[in-house]
Amino acid sequence: MILFTVDVTHLVRKAVEDIKSGKTGYAWAIDNRGIFLYHPEKDLIGEDAFKARAARKPKISFEQINIIQKEKMLKGEEGISWYISGWHGDVKKEMKKLIAYAPVHLTPGQDLNWSIAVAAPLSEVEGVIHSVYIRQFYIQGIIILVIIFGSIYVISFEKRWALSLEDEVTKKTEALKKSLDKLEKSEEKYRTLIESAEDLIFTVDEKGDYLSMNRCATRFFGGYPENLIGKNVSDLFSKESAELEMGFIKQVFNTGINVNVKYPVEVDKREYWFTSNFVGIKNESGKVFAVLGISRDITERKKMEDEQMYNTEKLASIGKLAAGVAHELNNPMAIILGFTDLLLEKTEHSSKNHEVLETIEKQALNCKRILESLLGFARYHEKIEYSTDVNENLERVVSVVENILFTENVTLEKNLAKDLPKVRGNSGHLQQVFMNLITNAVAAMEGKGVLTISTTLNESGNRVEIRFKDTGQGIKREYRDKIFEAFFTTKRMGEGTGLGLLVSHGIVTKYGGEITFETVAEEEDREKKGTTFIVSLPVVPSGSEQISI
């Protein structure tokens, strides 16, 4: 006896027609034989799902969807996959679709299942799977309610909840693992920085026992971390040095204020100089429980500072001595100039003797200017200086040294740019610089070579560059940082004072210029050996002849 009839198509349509995915995705349902129970295209309802698609688009292979229907959907499985279709709604073309499917169990314990699927173009499906699962359970409940006369089968979500919980635990575990990896990498980074530092980095407690020590510190004390950590400050330093070190550490513990200090220490009966920074490490309550020490060995730097101070004092003494000598030589030089002037008046201008006397007078005047420069070591005086012509000054110096170049077998090449603007400087001072650089070049070539002197205006037009290029032995690498230092010379004893380049550097920088060099030592390249000194002087603005120094 039939109590009632159910319009399955109407029932399924009501349940699934509102299921959408993306903009145009839709749902369809098949029974356990593969017949369409519902499809938005009404002509497919009641058709065999394995044949209807191929009948509409015979040129397209629907093998993938047929496998999904046969192997998955009709067997009551749920899942997600894809297949190739020849249309979607009004769009008629071959496309890739994403499909999500789930079973509807009509009678518990029997192999009687329907399957509902949601299909949409791959580009439109976003987030639809979740809603399909929810609607699937809703549809299943309605159908079971109708078939078994309102009997409600409560679907247990226990499995889903367990899977969700498992997924959440997995995510939390992964997040924790990533955080630990990040922390480990950060610790490794800072450990590497500390271990690679060239400073002594350590921590000590209030008693002076070492809690940690980096590689530089262990190397300094001549041991290994496992042998040094736990030792006391007094075990590594002399008694006086340990007391000094502990004084700084206790100061940090008592005040909480950082201490930055430079002091001498004694380790293994050797004296060193440290510059140290002691920093308190505080706990949550703000109390210092350890002190971080960062110490740098500045022993060599301290020696250099002491040597520099000694050389400065030595230079000051020489300056005073030079001033005294210059003062004593001024009188005979004045007499020489006086008698030269007197002889010039009594000699015919066109004679050879007159020319010789003019040379004597010019060189005596140069001596006088040098004596005035020596006096400058002992006192400072403000002078009014004038702009000068570089090429003219070079020609004057060259005329003086031509005989020296000839006797030393040195070939002179000049490349002097024409119409150069005047530069800032005093003629006598710049001639002194040029003379120093030329005599140094001649000495470097040791009796044979080529000296090239060139002048040019730089691209900006604000500086004139003078280059002195020789083919000598070049400057060795170990000497290149010292050539402008006082008393440094590579010449033999008695041949050089080590002041020529220092004085030249001082003169050039005084007028706002700079002096640099390029060099290739003989051991680096025998073919390209030699040195070029470059003097760069600022151009005097047009119409400004007088400069106050």
Q: pLDDT (tens digit, 9 = 90+) per residue, 57-116? A: 888 878 888 888 888 888 888 888 888 887 787 788 888 888 888 888 776 655 667 888
Of 88, 82, 56, give the one whose Cα is nearest residue 67: 82
Of the three residues 276, 297, 318, the one that is the final residue of a domain is 297
The type of residue at 28 is W
Extract the tokens encoding 368: 């006088």
For the chain, what is the radius of gyration of the CA atoms?
Answer: 49
Note whether residue 191 is domain-resident.
Answer: no
Note whether residue 2 is domain-resident.
Answer: no
Q: Are residues 329 and 417 in the same domain?
A: no
The type of residue at 355 is E
Extract the tokens encoding 403: 């005989």
pLDDT tens across 144-189, in order?
777 775 544 445 667 788 787 788 888 888 888 888 778 777 777 7
The type of residue at 109 is G
Query: In terms of residues, how long is the chain?
Result: 549
In 10 A of CB 425, how many CB atoms?
A: 28
pLDDT score for 312: 59
In 10 A of CB 249, how many CB atoms?
A: 21
Q: Residues 510-534: what's their mean pLDDT? A: 88
Distances from the Cα of 261 to the Cα of 185, 266, 433, angstroms: 34, 16, 43
Specify the number of domains making up the chain.
Answer: 4
3-state helix, strand, coil in the chain (%, to 5): 45, 25, 30
Q: Are residues 489 and 394 in the same domain?
A: yes
Q: Is 450 helix (H, G, I), strand (E, B) or coil?
A: strand
Bridge partners (DSSP) of residue 160 are none
Which segment of 32-46, 321-335, 468-482, 507-521 scores lowest on mean pLDDT? Answer: 321-335
412 backbone φψ class: left, alpha, beta (φ>0; ψ -120 to 50): beta
Q: Are residues 399 and 340 in the same domain?
A: no
Query: Per-residue pLDDT for 5 more than 80?
Result: no
pLDDT score for 538: 93
Buried b (16+ CB within 10 A) or exposed e, 428-457: bbbbbbbbbbbebbbbbbeeebebbbbbee
Note whether residue 233 is domain-resident.
Answer: yes
Residues above pLDDT 70, as percent of the chain: 82
CA angle at 106 for the pair 100 and 110, rounded to the nearest 5°: 110
Our CA dihedral for 165, 171, 175, 178, rounded to 10 degrees, sits at 140
Write phi, then psi, for 27 (nearest 5 degrees): -110, 150
Note whether residue 175 is domain-resident.
Answer: no
pLDDT score for 491: 64
Of 354, 423, 359, give the one whose Cα is nearest residue 386: 423
pLDDT band, residue 533 (cuts 50/70/90): very high
Q: Are residues 137 and 120 in the same domain?
A: yes
Q: Are 453 and 394 in contact (CB under 8 A)?
A: yes
pLDDT tens across 288-337, in order?
889 998 998 888 887 777 776 666 566 666 666 766 777 677 778 888 88
Note whether residue 330 is domain-resident.
Answer: yes
pLDDT band, residue 495 (cuts 50/70/90): low
Concatenating the DSSP letter of every residue in 316-379 gives: HHHHHHHHHHHHHHHHHHHHHHHHHHHHHHHS-TTSHHHHHHHHHHHHHHHHHHHHHHHHHTT-
Mean pLDDT in the chain?
Answer: 80
Domain membership of residue 395 as a residue range: 383-549
| CA 426 remoteness from chain centre | 44
Query: Per-residue pLDDT for 549 more than 50?
Result: no
Q: Are residues 443 and 326 in the same domain?
A: no
pLDDT score for 2: 52
* Residue found under tokens 């005097």: 540
pLDDT band, residue 381 (cuts 50/70/90): very low
Note whether residue 189 is domain-resident.
Answer: no
pLDDT score for 452: 93
Query: Per-residue pLDDT for 242 more than 80?
Result: yes
Please tell me whether the overall predicted TM-score, pTM, comes out greater than 0.75 for this model.
no
- Most confident by average pLDDT, 70-79, 336-345, 508-517: 508-517
* CATH assignment of the domain containing 360: 1.10.287
Which segment of 65-69, 144-148, 191-195, 376-380 scores lowest on mean pLDDT? Answer: 376-380
Q: Are residues 538 and 400 in the same domain?
A: yes
The type of residue at 499 is L
Q: Are 486 and 308 in contact (CB under 8 A)?
A: no
Q: Are residues 231 and 333 in the same domain?
A: no
Rounded Cα distance, 107 and 156, in Å: 16
Q: Are residues 543 and 404 in the same domain?
A: yes
Extract the tokens encoding 128: 């639809």
* CATH assignment of the domain containing 249: 3.30.450.20
In 10 A of CB 504, how many CB atoms?
A: 23
pLDDT score for 320: 66
pLDDT score for 66: 86
Q: Are residues 415 and 304 in the same domain?
A: no
pLDDT band, residue 195 (cuts 50/70/90): confident
Note whether residue 285 is domain-resident.
Answer: yes
Of the three residues 381, 401, 428, the one that is the final residue of a domain is 381
Q: Are 423 and 385 in contact (CB under 8 A)?
A: no
Rounded Cα distance, 46 and 311, in Å: 110
Q: Residues 10-39: what's their mean pLDDT? A: 79
Query: Per-residue pLDDT for 122 more than 80?
Result: no
Of the three residues 297, 330, 362, the one that is the final residue of a domain is 297
Note whether residue 404 is domain-resident.
Answer: yes
Q: Are residues 251 and 376 in the same domain?
A: no
Rounded Cα distance, 397 and 408, in Å: 16
Of 166, 171, 170, 140, give the one whose Cα is nearest residue 153: 140
pLDDT score for 539: 92
The secondary structure element, H or E, covering residue 454 is strand 449-457
End-to-end CA distance of the chain: 127
Pairing of strands 113-121, 546-548: unpaired
Extract the tokens encoding 141: 């409940």
pLDDT score for 3: 56
Rounded Cα distance, 12 and 20, in Å: 15
pLDDT score for 176: 81
Write phi, then psi, for 544 (nearest 5 degrees): -115, 90
Concatenating the DSSP letter of every residue in 291-309 gives: EEEEEEE-HHHHHHHHHHH
Instruction: Mark out the alpha helices in 87-238 (DSSP H runs).
Output: 128-147, 158-196, 215-221, 225-228, 233-236
* CATH assignment of the domain containing 454: 3.30.565.10
Q: Are residues 48 and 132 in the same domain?
A: yes
pLDDT score for 31: 84
Q: Are residues 526 and 473 in the same domain?
A: yes
pLDDT band, residue 339 (cuts 50/70/90): confident
pLDDT tens across 439-492, in order?
888 888 887 889 999 999 998 889 999 999 998 888 888 877 777 776 666 665
